[in-house]
Structure 1
Amino acid sequence: MRKQALYSSSSKASAAPGAPEALPEPPAPARRPLPAALKQLDFTDPRWLWSAIVLLALALLVSIAVGLHQRPRQLTQKDVNAAVLKTLETTVLPSAASRAYEVIRPSVVRVMGFVKSKDGKEDLEHGVGTGVVIVDKGVILTNLHVVHGAQTIKLVFFDGLESSASVIGVQPENDLAVLQAHKIPDDLVAATMRSTADLQPGDEVLTVGFPFGIGPSASAGVVSGLKRTFRSPEGQHEIGNLIQFDAAANPGNSGGPLVTMDGELVGIVTAILNPSKQRTFIGIGFAVPIENAAVAAGMPPF
């Protein structure tokens, strides 16, 4: 026979048979009485609200005053000088000649003259030199002796674009020729021309060209003298009012730019002096001032 479940007795009234026994309720927490002083305060009084507003305003003013007092210290010239010196110590800057090269390079052109072979089947190289763009529509200055006698003229621009060209002007007394390219790069840049009026011996200059067909090649030096005269080795031609310089120039540099350290065009390389028959550079080169060259191109002088 199944035994009946037994339940412990309780002092409370017994629950209905089969219902679970109710748990006793926890005692309510004791409340601490307010101090007598606070019991007498009336927080609904509007004066409490205005007092709170005044306290917040005072706190804001104090915060602003502290912020203004702690604003960053202004930089002084000493701070700037220290920063510049630190930069110079930690950064390798390009040389003046390098910057000048970057400025003039897009305006430098390789110039080649060709003649037909006796049987008319081949183009033979007749002369190689350099040119410089002075008008962005493809007007180029070079030496007359580079293209003289050539039946066709070919140009190679800084981006590798090749084009034929025509002679549109000459100035034999200064050995200058003006070329017009038949095709030009979309972003062709003309050299910036600068007056030689303030050019002085000792000023740094740069030549860029294709010596012996190698290039573009850069060479730096200084202005050695002004208003020099050059007589051709055969003695048949004399050019005056030349810029003498000592930046290396060799056959192939003819017609190239002579520029300042700002990359501004002051002359067209035209000759080198060498008493021997080697036709190599010994430290004396000559350039036609850009004022004369600009006249050859039909441009007004400075």
Structure 2
Amino acid sequence: MRRPAMYSASRPAPAQQAPAAAQPAPEAAQPSSRRHRLRLAAASPAVMWSAIVLLAALLAMSLAMNMGPAPRKITQADINAAVLKTLETQPLPSEYAKAYEVIRPSVVRVVSYVKKSRLKDEKAARLHATRPKMLDPAQGGEKDDDEIEAGVGTGVVIVDKGIILTNLHVVSGADSVKVTFSDGLEATATITGAQPENDLAVLQAHKIPDDMIAATMRSTGDLAPGHKALVVGFPFGIGPSASGGVISGLNRSFRSPEGKQEMTNLIQFDAAANPGNSGGPLVTMDGEVVGIVTAILNPTPARTFLGIGFAVPIENAAQAAGLPPF
């Protein structure tokens, strides 16, 4: 029996079946066509820039909502009002108190002693009678059975090795000298230098505190009448005591009551100073030493402060200690 003929798959299909096979094609191609149009739109520069502008506008709106109103600019009137309010409600610290705290560690009490046997001499007895004495027995008195206090003055440490400036009349004629530092340490001292024309003496303490602080010296080149000044010392042995005033004048002259010595180029000041302040520092509001207190003007026998004091400029005092001038 003969087999029916077989046809190849490449043979064209019958004409009536072609429309049925081709009908789904437009529907299947429809999604592909939309995606293609979207790709073309996304690739358009105008669309991309429109999207960027929209995003930037949304970001700006978000930041504006979060930041709120801009702060008001501070004016000079606001600053002036704040400063005035502070001055009214917060008292400023005293300039004198600040200067005192700076110089205090460098100020020492100086006490001179003479042997009792010397007081038999009329001149030595007169010297002992005219020198200021400590009013507080707990701070002074006799050094030992053979020596008696001859007087008290003040000194200021200018080199942290224990070099001290004071007045020559505080220690002249003494058999021994004792100094007391700000921390209470007591030590004997030796006179290592003198400048009689300016009534200055240099002492070397034999023992010093571990944390010795020397004073800062300042040139008097720009010093002028009216500048504030502070005197620190031991008037009549009481101290350390502070008194404030101003520089009253410059280049003044002073003759001692006995008329034996005249000093020139002195600083005149009106801060209170009395016997016992001799040799102490005259300082600025920065606590820097501009002079060494050396004399007070009082034509009466009392020899107490009447309103005018004198100090040797620190340039002269530094030279007495062998230090170079400013």
Check whether TM > 0.5: yes
Cα deviations by residue, 1:90-118 (Å, 9 ceiling, x for unpaired): 11212222222222212111111112333
- CA distance in structure 1 between the aligned counterparts of 2:66 and 2:241, rounded to whole angstroms: 61
Could you say which residue in structure 2 is the equivalent of 1:248? Answer: 272
- CA offset at residue 232 of structure 1? 1.3
Identity %: 72
- Residue aligning to 1:88: 87
C-alpha distance in 2 between matches for 1:64 and 1:123: 88
Report how far residue 169 of structure 1 moved. 1.2
**What is the aligned partner in structure 1 of residue 161 from structure 2?**
137
| Bigger Cα displacement from structure 2, 284-293 vs 130-139 | 130-139
Aligned to 2:210: 186
Q: CA deviation at 1:296?
A: 0.5
Corresponding residue for 2:316?
A: 292
* Paired position in structure 1 for 2:69: 70
Q: Distance in 1 between matches of 2:56 and 2:258?
A: 98
Task: Supply the AA of the counterpart residue of 1:90.
Answer: T
Instruction: Point out where structure 1 has 5 or more consecutive residues left out of the alignment.
Output: 1-46, 48-53
- TM-score after normalising by structure 1: 0.76
Counterpart Cα distance in 2 of 1:87 and 1:93: 9
1:140-151 mapped onto 2 (5 Å cutoff): 140-151=164-175
Aligned to 1:97: 96
**Partners in 2 of 1:181 and 1:62 — Cα distance?**
79
The Cα of 1:67 is off from its aligned counterpart by 3.9
> Counterpart in 2 of 1:215?
239
Q: Measured at CA, do residues 55 and 257 of structure 1 come closer, stay the same or move farther in structure 2, by a change above 3 Å?
A: same
SS of the residue 1:250 aligns to? coil
What amino acid sits opposite 2:153 in the alignment?
G
1:65/1:186 Cα in 2 relative to 1: closer, same or farther (>3 Å)? Answer: farther
- 1:152 maps to 176
> By how many angstroms is 1:71 displaced?
4.7
Runs of 4+ in 1 over 6 A off after TM superposition: 54-58
Opposite residue 189 of structure 2, the aligned amino acid is A
The answer for the alignment partner of 1:127 in structure 2 is: 151
Output the TM-score relative to the length of structure 2: 0.71
Report how many aligned residue pairs link the two structures: 255
Q: CA RMSD in A?
A: 2.7
* Stretch of structure 1 that moved more, 280-289 or 88-97: 88-97
The 2-side partners of 1:124 and 1:298 are apart by 31
d(CA) in 2 for partners of 1:114 and 1:149?
9
Structure 1 residues 213-253: Cα deviation after superposition (integer angstroms, max 9, x where no partner): 01111111222221111111111111111111111111000
* Letter paired with 1:136: D
Task: Please list every run of 5 or more consecutive structure 2 residues that lacks an aligned counterpart in the other structure.
Answer: 1-41, 43-52, 119-143
The residue that corresponds to 2:259 in the other structure is 235
More helix by share: 2
What is aligned with 1:268?
Answer: 292
